[in-house]
Structures are given as C-alpha cells and as structure tokens.
Amino acid sequence: MKEKILEGKVAVVAGSGQGIGRSIALGLGEAGAEVITNNRWPGSTGNAMLTEEQYGQLSEKDKQWYDLVQKQFTGDAETTAQMIRENGGEASACFADISDFQEAELLIRRAVETYGKIDILINVAGTFGICDIDQISEELWDKVNNIKPKGYFNTMRFAIPYMKQQRYGRIINCTSRAFMGDVIKHAEYCAANAGVVGLTRGAAIELREYGITCNAFGPFAKTRAAYEMEAISRVSGNSILADGITGDIPAFDATPGPEKVVPFILYLASAFSEKISGSVFTLSGNAIQMHQEPVVAKMMVKESDAPWSIEEIIREAPRCILKDYHSIADI
C-alpha cells in the first residue's frame, strides 16, 4: 500500500484471529493504523459448525481436503498481531469474549491504555449453525445471537464514549446477506444479522452529530464457515438448503479470498468516508454492492375514523397493497 491513509489512527478488530478479521487487521496495519487484534482465547481453532459425527462421515479424500484447508484457517489474535509487526506495523493482541459485557469493556480499554485512544472499531466475530428452524436449540440460538448483535453492541457501548469525546469515530459491523432471509437453514443467523443491521442504522442516526459513522458489510469470502459448510454439504447433500430449494452452494475453491474485502473496509475506516453512515454493503470479490434503503412500497388508507373491518381488508388488500405481490418465499 503506497498511501498510509490511516496513519495515526487506532483500530480494534473484534474477531481477527483468522479469516476475514485477520485480513482486515493486516490491511489496517499496512495502512498505518495501530491495531488491537482480538479473539476469545489463545490458539482458537477447531470447528464452528461441523460435528465430529459429520467429520466421521466424510470420505477419506474429503477428510484430507478438509484437514489441509483447515490448516490455512488456524490462528489467534497473537499470531495476527505478530504478522502485522513482521510487516512493519504496530499491533497488540487482546483475548476477550465480546459476548461478555465486562470482557468487551476490557478489549476497548486495552486500546486506550496501549495506544491512547480508539478511532476505529470493526466487529467481525460471528458463528452460525445449520438446522431446521423448528429444531434450533436455545443453546444454538444464544451461541449465535450472543455474538451478533449482542457482542457488537457490547464493544460499541464502550468505544462510543471515547469517540464522542474526540468527536471522531468509524464503526464497521460485519453482517451477512442472510439478514434478508436465506435459502440455507440458519434462521438464527438471519435473525442475528438483521439485528446487526438494525443496530448499525440506529447508531448511525444517533451519532451523526459527533463525527462518528457506522456502517455494515456482508462479506462473501473464503472463511472457516465457508469450508465447514462445504464439508457439511458433502456429507448431507443439499439438506442444508431450505426444503424445496434446488441448486448447490458455491464451491469453496471458487469463493473469493478474504483479502478482497479489505480495500473497501479501509475506505470506510478512513476520513474519506465521513459522509457515509447507516449503509449496508455486500463485498464479493471485486464486486461492491450497496443495499437499497428500505422504503414503503404501497399504502392503503380508509377514509373514515372507523377501523378496517376484516371484510374490507379481504376485499381491498388484494387489489391495492397486495396487487402484483411476490413473497420472498417464492424462490
């Protein structure tokens, strides 16, 4: 990178031990920022979704593939920080579980105590499962939603007062296109990412007078989740897809690398994005998409103080607000 567009800035990247978070942290360091890297504990590896039973059902060839790919996605906050330092940057690791309110505070405090401030907060941590909605356990629901959006709120809660004081800040939250619903059976993940979008938009409006922006991005990239999903698909075929959905999930080898996400994140983290806030972007390879703002598409009004009767709604709705209606479930 020729221009150090983040020189003098301090960034925290929650969930940067591997994958997309690691790539973003490396990019921030290369752009001149001092970086606090983070994940839950040292040496975090292992599977997020693939069970031992499912792994055992893989063919020997698929097991060899899985083991080889998994080695590329191991690491933790310290190994990421070390990579930044080896590249000439400044970084320090902080092991903390952002789903815990007190540990999230420790993470943000580490940035302030180490580098004197916090300018940039990027939340990337996340997980999900593959399960029919009527089989989702309370444990799975909490596992996913305690990180997104709760963990993201936790880090924001403690970073924002510092940003308000300096009247400057960049908050970037990782969401997913699943916030709109998905063909994959992970409704708990759809809910979590919809929560991230709502949190992001609410924060953007509240913080507009303080020079603080808040945006969300949905990455499509090679990650641990991507290869685990392919492994599960190899075991169970298309059972990860909603009933009635045909087709295949994108092959892991055809998925863009996580480094492709970095340039636009650096842009959102920089002073060049001061007018961009409350938006949701999808990043897939070299394609950058901005989601349209939700708008009221149609409206029907009864010209009377009396409430609608059910008979009136049955008669009027199909020829008014529901005319030419298409459900998202009709894929």
Q: What is the pLDDT of residue 171?
A: 99
Question: What is the DSSP-derived secondary structure letter of residue 87?
Answer: T
Average confidence score pLDDT of the chain: 92
Question: Which of the following is catalytic: 189, 210, 227, 325?
Answer: 189
Of the candidates 63, 45, 67, the one whose C-alpha atom is nearest the C-alpha of residue 54 is 63
For residue 284, what are the contacts with CB-CB under 8 A and spacing of at least 6? 219, 220, 221, 256, 260
What domains can be seen in the chain, in order of their start residue? 10-290 (3.40.50.720)
Distances from the Cα of 17 to the Cαs of 131, 220, 255, in angstroms? 26, 18, 20
Beta-sheet strand order (sheet of 90-95):
90-95, 34-39, 10-14, 120-123, 169-174, 212-220, 280-284, 287-290
Is residue 205 within 8 Å of 293, Cβ to Cβ?
A: no
Paired tokens of 319 = 């020829």
Distance from C-alpha of 197 to C-alpha of 200, rounded to nearest angstrom: 5
Contact 15, 38 (CB under 8 A): yes
Beta bridge partners of 92: 36
pLDDT of residue 97: 98
d(CA 171, CA 50): 31
Quote the tokens at residue 192: 């979590």
Distance from C-alpha of 157 to C-alpha of 103, rounded to nearest angstrom:
12
| C-alpha span between 107 and 13 (Å, rounded) | 10
Specify whether 189 is catalytic: yes
Which ranges of the chain have pLDDT less than 50?
none
For the whole model, what pTM was predicted?
0.92
Residue 79: the pLDDT is 97
Residue 197: CB atoms within 10 A of its CB come to 21
| Predicted confidence (pLDDT) per residue in 133-163, tens digit | 999 999 999 999 999 999 999 999 999 999 9
CA distance linking residue 9 with residue 106, whole number of Å: 19
pLDDT on residue 276? 98
